Structure formats: structure tokens, C-alpha cells
Amino acid sequence: MKPYALVGEVLAPEPLGRAAVVIQNGRIGNLVRSPRSGDLPHMRREVSGTICPGFIDLQINGAFGIDVGPNPEALENLARELAKTGTTSFLPTLISSPQGLYADFLDALKDASRSSGARILGAHLEGPFLSPARKGAHDPANLRMPDKGMIRDLVGSDVVRMMTLAPELPGALEAIRLLLDNGVVPGAGHTDATYEEVLGAIDTGLCMGTHLYNAMSQLGHRAPGAVGALLTDERVRAGIIADGVHVHEGALRVAYRQKGPESLALVTDAMEAAGMPPGEYKLSGRNVCLEEDGAVRLPDGTLAGSALTMDRAVRNAAEILHIPMQDAVRMVTETPARVLGMPEKGRIAPGADADIVVLGGDGKIEETIVAGETVYAGQEEDHT
């Protein structure tokens, strides 16, 4: 690929003003402040919108009528569709499933990992080592106690990047150590743990909270629970679903004030109803309904993932929290990249991957670039 430059206002995610982002061989070769023609490659393009790092979704169960599962073609289609939302990389997330399904799912991820569109960074396994008391939309028949043999089999695939578990379960601390030894990010979620149990897990190496507030022991003035531990311990980051359904805007503000954009990552926790009209859908084989108010629920009323997209999450955060766009962008770029230990992602800097989003003045996606190649451009009907 010949080098070319995008010229415009840049959020790196810190605001850099007008600059030129020079792209070559899928990476950012240079970043030129106050660019002049002589400083740039022959191929260059003025951009009317704001140039940002590409968005990273740490937790997504599906979208656009596609349910995450052991189907490479479906995962490839999902990757292409997500580019419309500014997502340039993501962790397909499998909720608690029958044990025999995991190997097929991880094999499918390997087959789909080089698809066009958003890049698959690996799997997020949400379960099956979760608390039955906080199961949410997970089928209780698929929940298990932590099993070191099963974990070794899963991480041996070299595809798993994150696992959500309940740290109070017997064997959970050993599981956290095993995950860390194999380069997997351990997160706390679907947990009924006490404040002290979560702190003990953080001492062991737990470094992430999965969808803060949802499906976890709540903050009480005498029993701060998992929420209290995740909010107050500076060693841990947390994902949060800013869809206006999962978390009240007041609780979102509390989380932001406590964690800041450096430790709070916006996630969608989306399922196949995201980007689709109200109606009946599936979440890992379970029947769910996308309602007119945007909530996705099981027949018994339990929330079952979201219909949120990453571009909408960024706009929601900026509007609800009354924060500058660069801080909202940081929560979907640099912060999730740090969760994953991937400094080449989530920023615009020399040597970083050329995963770039161009945002219009209204926060809508004008262009998505993955590894230097445009994978989405143009205006479509708003899907959010």
C-alpha cells in the first residue's frame, strides 16, 4: 500500500487540532501537526469530520440479526456490519453455553478472524463460572463451578482474550491465576460476591468488571458489594452499558466521576436485535424480545443484552455526562485497548494500527478504516 494522509481535526484521543495522519502498510507512519504540503505524501485527503481512533467493543453477543456462536460466516458478516458503527475491533462474546459448544465457537473464531470489516481480537467468554443468584439471561443449566481442566482447554486455543466469572465461587481465585498466566483478562460479573471477596480477587489479579451495576451485588451503606469494590478500587477498570436502559443516568454519572474515562470502558453487550426493528430475536438460542422502548428482555422480563451500538454509546455518554467528545471517545478506544494490553490499538500515534473512525459533527460515523483500508464510507439510514 502506498502511503497516504488524512488531514483534519484529530482526537488521538486527546485533541491535537488540525493534523495529518500518515498511513502506510496498515499502520500510522507519522503524525504531522500543522501540516504543510511538503510534509505529506502525494496521496492525501482532506476530511471534514473529526479523525479518531477506531472503537473497540469488549462485549458483544451479536447485532444486525446475527447471533454470536460457532458459525464463521455469521461472525464474518457481523464484522462487516459493525464497521458501520465505528467499531474497528471487537471481542465476540459467548454467554454460558453447553460445554461441548465452546471448542466449536473458538474454532469458528479462528476461521473468521481474517474477515474484512472490524477485526476479531479474540473471544470474551461470559461464563460459565457464574453465580446462579445473579444469572441474568444466562441459562442456569449451563452454569458451572470453576474447573481448571476446562479453563486449560479453553485458553489452550490461544483465542480467548477475556473471561467473566464470579469471584466468590470455590476455585475462582485459582481460575484467575490460571487466566492471567495464559494472557487472559479476568473480569468479575454475574456475581453475588461481597465487597471483601471482590477485593480479594483484585489482590489476586482480577482487573476488570463486566457491565458495572448489572447482575452483581449492589452498593449498600453497610455492605458495599461488588459494585462498591469495583467503583472504589483504582486497580480495576469496568465496562458499562450506556443505553439508557441498563444503567440510570445518575448511576452512570457516579461511575464516571469515580472511575473517569481512563478506567471506564463503554461496551454494548449487544445481541442480534441491535440495529434491527422491535420484534422477536435469539440470544444464544433463548427467545428474547426487543421492545419499543429499546429494552431486550426474556419472556419473564429479565434484561437480555442490549440493542446498543458503539456510535450511539459514544453519543449517549457525551450527552448524559456532559463531557467533551474526546473523553467519550477515550472510553471506546484507549481505555479498552489498555484493558486488553494492546498499546497498538485505541490511539492515533506513530506505530499504532491504522484503525480510524471519522466522526461527523453530529457524532455519526462518516468513515471507518481498518488497517489502513476503508471498510465503511457514506451515509446510511440511522441504525441507532
How does strand 119-120 pair with strand 87-95?
Answer: parallel
- Confirm if 71 and 108 have CB atoms less than 8 A apart: yes
DSSP state of 339: H
Q: Which three cell numbers stand for residue 361?
A: 459533527
Low-confidence ranges of the chain (pLDDT < 50): 381-384
pTM of the model: 0.96
Report the pLDDT value the prediction gives residue 381, as an integer from 0 to 100: 46
Q: Which three cell numbers stand for residue 330?
A: 477515550
Report the pLDDT value the prediction gives residue 73, as an integer from 0 to 100: 96
* Domain at 4-52+348-377, CATH from 3.30.1540.20, 2.30.40.10, 3.90.1150.10, 3.90.45.10: 2.30.40.10
Choosing from 57, 67, 192, 269, which is the catalytic residue?
269
- Do you find a cis peptide bond into 132, omega within 30 degrees of 0? no
- Do you find a cis peptide bond into 186, omega within 30 degrees of 0? no
Residues 6 or more apart whose Cβ sits within 8 Å of residue 141 = none
Whether 4-52+348-377 shares its CATH topology with 54-340 is answered no
Could you count the other beta carbons within 10 Å of the beta carbon of residue 36?
8
Report the pLDDT value the prediction gives residue 1, as an integer from 0 to 100: 72
Could you count the other beta carbons within 10 Å of the beta carbon of residue 286?
17
Report the pLDDT value the prediction gives residue 372, as an integer from 0 to 100: 96
CA distances in angstroms from 314 to 65, 130, 295, 331, 353, listed in the order given: 22, 29, 18, 8, 21
Residues 6 or more apart whose Cβ sits within 8 Å of residue 351 = 27, 28, 344
Total H helices, total E strands in the chain:
10, 21
Report the pLDDT value the prediction gives residue 34, as an integer from 0 to 100: 80
269 is catalytic: yes
Phi (first) and psi of residue 76, to 5 degrees: -65, -40
Report the pLDDT value the prediction gives residue 341, as an integer from 0 to 100: 97
Could you count the other beta carbons within 10 Å of the beta carbon of residue 297?
16
- Confirm if 270 and 306 have CB atoms less than 8 A apart: yes
Report the pLDDT value the prediction gives residue 370, as an integer from 0 to 100: 97
* Domain at 54-340, CATH from 3.20.20.140, 3.40.50.970, 3.30.499.10, 3.40.630.10: 3.20.20.140
Q: Which three cell numbers stand for residue 203?
A: 489482590
- Confirm if 384 and 311 have CB atoms less than 8 A apart: yes
How does strand 160-165 pair with strand 208-209?
Answer: unpaired
39: left (phi > 0), else alpha (psi -120 to 50), else beta?
alpha
Tens of pLDDT, residue by residue over 13-30, are 999 999 999 999 999 999
Distance in angstroms (rounded) separating the CA atoms of residues 341 and 56: 13
Distance in angstroms (rounded) separating the CA atoms of residues 312 and 242: 9
Structural element, H or E, at residue 241: none
> How far does Cα 61 stand from its chain's mean position?
10
Q: Where along the chain do its domains lie?
A: 4-52+348-377, 54-340
